[in-house]
């Protein structure tokens, strides 16, 4: 048996998309020409579960989580997984068992983490539009903190807490006006973004929060964006937050924790993100001087490269101008390429010696939209019925999927302890209209 990491030269006539050579995909390797995840052949899983299909590695998620806990072990900390990245109950349960907390942004996500067995005292509630009923449920559950995004929300939380006889632990999400140098749709720390309370208003709003009868002011929070490749924006944001912490002490407001959000990037193609260890090394000297508990809210960096989307080539449509490989996955299964211009690796699940000549292909779906593509200009040896793995699909894949064109959403599979488990069944077409009613 011959094992080969995916970043090794191909031993056969098949041509691999060059972008895979840079991808950070430790869970994947070729064994005798067959792409494996944690020892299981992905083309066999495609036959067993059908395609499209998301497949995740529990080992890869565990390793990513422990990299955070090990790197920040020298300060009191809580790693709160950002549920929006991938909210499957099995994945939430896995992380809860490892000791993770959770960063939620809706009442639905609160219900999910509780159903998965999470400790509510390790849950932080972020997001702009917290509804009164969701605030009440979170207070009843005993969550760790609300990250407050506006003065109106501050008043709402105080009112709801008073109505049910609770005190609400809160921190303010401060917008430090730091440029994260990321895609504008996932930038959150600039003054023109909708998130948080402006840096210049923060002291006044903290004083307002401290005066409200049903609130406990316990922390300060910031989140400047997603897919950050450099630690410097985090350091810039931390410096501004430290200024506020020191100013708050001067007016008698003493905080218990600092929350630096999430957003650390991953390598999809050729990005060079700072490692978690390097990220920690950059921030720890300041954090140790603060002597406060640290909250971090990673999402993508825990699960993105722990997952692939398996898809089967349906038909090939070559032409003199452009070659299209039409696959059975589509933009409804993976919206990131169309929405964020994201580039994700495309890897054949089987290498063969009788491969077709390599061509440059656009990997597209069958949805009636020009924006329906998974990858463009990829050099691959393809034939109809080939199974491809779209990498980096563990984050913002299924959670952003839709039923556009009345397409059932794909199934999800988790490989844990050497076994592939179906953790979400594939939707049926009939299930798509179960909540609809014809008026007769």
Three-state SS for 80? strand
**Domain of residue 38, CATH code:** 2.40.37.10
Choose, from 53, 80, 368, 411, the residue flagged as catalytic: 368
Strand partners, 170: 146, 217
User: How far apart are the C-alpha atoms of 160 and 104, rounded to whole Å?
Assistant: 19
User: How far apart are the C-alpha atoms of 98 and 430, rounded to whole Å?
Assistant: 37
Indicate the number of domains in the chain: 2
Residue 246, annotated as binding a ligand: no
The boundaries of the domain holding residue 32 are: 18-57+304-429
- Which of 24, 9, 83, 18 is closest to 262 using CA atoms? 83
Enter the DSSP assignment of 10: P
Structure tokens at 383: 């034939």
Whether residue 290 lies inside any domain: the answer is: yes
Strand partners, 217: 170
Domain shared by 50 and 131, yes or no: no
Residue 300, annotated as binding a ligand: yes
Domain shared by 251 and 329, yes or no: no
Computed from CA positions of residues 147, 153, 155, 161, in that sequence, does the dihedral angle turn out positive or negative? negative
Q: What is the pLDDT of residue 194?
A: 53
Residue 185, annotated as binding a ligand: no
Domain shared by 164 and 260, yes or no: yes
**Domain of residue 246, CATH code:** 3.20.20.10
Q: What is the pLDDT of residue 164?
A: 97
Whether residue 6 lies inside any domain: the answer is: no
- Which of 101, 106, 119, 259 is closest to 176 using CA atoms? 259
- Residues of the chain falling short of pLDDT 70: 1-26, 178-195
28-31 and 3-5 beta bridge pairing:
antiparallel
Residue 295, annotated as binding a ligand: no
User: How far apart are the C-alpha atoms of 333 and 401, rounded to whole Å?
Assistant: 5
- Which of 220, 205, 189 is closest to 154 using CA atoms? 205
Whether residue 143 lies inside any domain: the answer is: yes
Domain shared by 143 and 279, yes or no: yes
Domain shared by 31 and 67, yes or no: no
User: How far apart are the C-alpha atoms of 355 and 242, rounded to whole Å?
Assistant: 58
Say what the alpha-carbon torsion angle 180, 181, 183, 185 is, to the nearest 10 degrees: 40
Domain shared by 285 and 365, yes or no: no
Structure tokens at 341: 């211009």
- Which of 393, 395, 403 is closest to 309 using CA atoms? 393
Three-state SS for 310? strand
Structure tokens at 285: 């000297």
User: How far apart are the C-alpha atoms of 122 and 330, rounded to whole Å?
Assistant: 36
Domain shared by 75 and 171, yes or no: yes
Whether residue 8 lies inside any domain: the answer is: no
Domain shared by 278 and 308, yes or no: no
Three-state SS for 175? strand
Residue 271, annotated as binding a ligand: no
Domain shared by 69 and 53, yes or no: no
Q: Residues 6 or more apart from 285 whose CB is under 8 A from it?
A: none
pLDDT digits (tens, 9 = 90+) for 95-122: 999 999 999 999 999 999 999 999 999 9
Domain shared by 219 and 256, yes or no: yes
Active site residue 368: yes
pTM: 0.91
User: How far apart are the C-alpha atoms of 431 and 400, rounded to whole Å?
Assistant: 18
- Domain boundary residue among 302, 327, 357? 302
Q: What is the pLDDT of residue 144?
A: 98
Q: What is the pLDDT of residue 13?
A: 33
pLDDT digits (tens, 9 = 90+) for 60-98: 999 999 999 999 999 999 999 999 999 999 999 999 999
Structure tokens at 124: 């932080």
Residue 297, annotated as binding a ligand: yes
Phi, psi for residue 237 in degrees, rounded to 5: -65, -40
């Amino acid at each position: 048996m011959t094992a080969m990491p995916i970043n090794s030269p191909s031993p056969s006539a098949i041509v691999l998309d060059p972008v895979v050579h840079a991808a950070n995909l430790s869970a994947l390797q070729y064994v005798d020409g067959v792409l494996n995840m944690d020892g299981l052949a992905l083309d066999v899983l495609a036959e067993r579960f059908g395609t499209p299909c998301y497949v995740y590695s529990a080992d890869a998620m565990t390793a990513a989580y422990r990299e955070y806990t090990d790197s920040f072990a020298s300060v009191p900390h809580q790693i709160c997984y950002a549920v929006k990245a991938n909210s499957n109950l099995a994945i939430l349960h896995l992380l809860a068992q490892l000791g993770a907390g959770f960063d939620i942004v809706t009442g639905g996500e609160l219900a999910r983490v509780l159903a998965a067995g999470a400790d509510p005292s390790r849950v932080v509630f972020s997001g702009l539009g917290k509804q009164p009923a969701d605030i009440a449920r979170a207070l009843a559950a005993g969550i760790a903190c609300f990250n407050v995004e506006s003065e109106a929300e501050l008043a709402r939380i105080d009112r709801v807490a008073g109505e049910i006889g609770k005190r609400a632990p809160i921190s303010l999400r401060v917008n430090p006006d730091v440029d994260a140098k990321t895609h504008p749709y996932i930038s959150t720390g600039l003054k023109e973004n909708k998130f948080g309370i402006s840096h210049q208003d923060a002291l006044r709003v903290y004083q307002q929060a401290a005066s409200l009868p049903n609130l406990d002011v316990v922390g300060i929070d910031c989140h400047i964006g997603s897919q950050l490749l450099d630690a410097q924006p985090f350091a810039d944001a931390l410096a501004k937050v430290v200024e506020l912490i020191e100013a708050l002490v001067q007016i008698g407001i003493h905080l218990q924790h600092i929350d630096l959000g999430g957003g650390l990037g991953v390598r999809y193609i050729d990005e060079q993100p700072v490692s978690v260890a390097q990220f920690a090394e950059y921030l720890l000297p300041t954090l140790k001087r603060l002597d406060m508990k640290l909250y971090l809210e990673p999402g993508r960096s825990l699960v993105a490269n722990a997952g692939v989307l398996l898809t089967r080539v349906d038909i090939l449509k070559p032409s003199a101008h452009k070659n299209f490989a039409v696959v059975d996955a589509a933009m409804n299964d993976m919206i990131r390429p169309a929405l964020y211009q994201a580039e994700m690796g495309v890897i054949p699940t089987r290498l063969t010696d009788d491969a077709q000549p390599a061509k440059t292909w656009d990997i597209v779906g069958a949805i009636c939209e020009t924006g329906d593509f998974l990858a463009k200009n990829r050099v691959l040896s393809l034939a109809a019925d080939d199974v491809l793995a779209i990498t980096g699909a563990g984050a913002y894949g299924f959670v952003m999927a839709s039923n556009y064109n009345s397409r059932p959403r794909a199934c999800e599979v988790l490989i844990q302890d050497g076994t592939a488990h179906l953790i979400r069944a594939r939707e049926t077409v009939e299930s798509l209209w179960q909540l609809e009613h014809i008026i007769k």
